[in-house]
Structure 1
Amino acid sequence: MDHEELEQLLFLDREYSEEFDYPRSKWIEIIQHTLDRFETYLGVPVEHEEFQSSIIGSGFCIDIASSVSACGKFNITWKGGYGAGWITDSETKTSFLYISATLFLYSNTKKLVTNSNESFLEFEYVKGEDGTFQWRPFLKNAWMIDEHGEYEYFDDPDERFEIESD
């Protein structure tokens, strides 16, 4: 399936319902395509857990991580979550697949947090003004606060998963 056909799968001309779902093989194509684009956007290789152990259904959620550390003795690494779910526009009754990535940075196994308590970077895959899909920061500066403690799993960088390197 080519680039354009894959990106057409991200939009439905009707409201999403539980009866609708892509086959697992189609989900894997969508994940790999958008993950390849994310790798290009970041400019570094991205490791990910094996798709067989991932949660794939009416969306997906997989763990991702940097493949190597950077900055010498600073030993900068990152890991996070990569996922998608259907969102329906209440006016048009059409649905689109919202894809995002959440990254946590580490230095020598310590999670990095800004002085204003922002602890992760959030990115989203959206249709740009030119009509093409692209990755961009969710907020202008990309840093966000984990207000509800939902990402405490990422406090320990040694929590590892089975990965595939591309």
Structure 2
Amino acid sequence: METNGLPLTPEGARAALADTEHIRTSATALSATPWPTWFFVTLTLYIAALPIVYGGITADSDWLLPRPAWMVVMLTITAVYGALFAVAAKAWRDKTGVALRWDVLPKRATLPLAVGLPILLVGAAFAFRATGQPVWLIAASLAGATASTGFHLAFVRLHRKTA
């Protein structure tokens, strides 16, 4: 805040603090803004594909594709996802000047997702291997896509609340 060479008054100091708080809130809102829609769709499709690919990799015998083909699929979708993640993060940083941050998200949402989603996605492949029933993979795929959508909607709500 410019003081034109004059001493800062108590009212001016309060206004400067309010401006600082507004800037901090705006930066938090920007860094919590949802992914671009194209990346949200990419992420959701990736999460939905993982249980099926894991199932193909862990199957006792060739299931739908030979095991090496499943490995190629896994490596390919992971590389594509990683590249698109880098593009989305860079585009966001260029657009807003703020890096994507996880620390602004509520821990009550991110912790269960960070723990539960990998257990769901990998656990379904082990259940499939044990039972031979692909319903485990389909259920995990749908649950993962639902979790991704729910997390995205929570992102949107958080952004609206802080914007």
Normalised to the residue count of structure 1, the TM-score between the two structures is: 0.25
Is the strand fraction higher in 1 or 2? Answer: 1
Is the helix fraction higher in 1 or 2? Answer: 2
Normalised to the residue count of structure 2, the TM-score between the two structures is: 0.25
The structure with the larger Rg is 2
Query: Which structure ranks higher in relative contact order (CA pairs < 8 Å, sequence separation ≥ 6)?
Result: 2
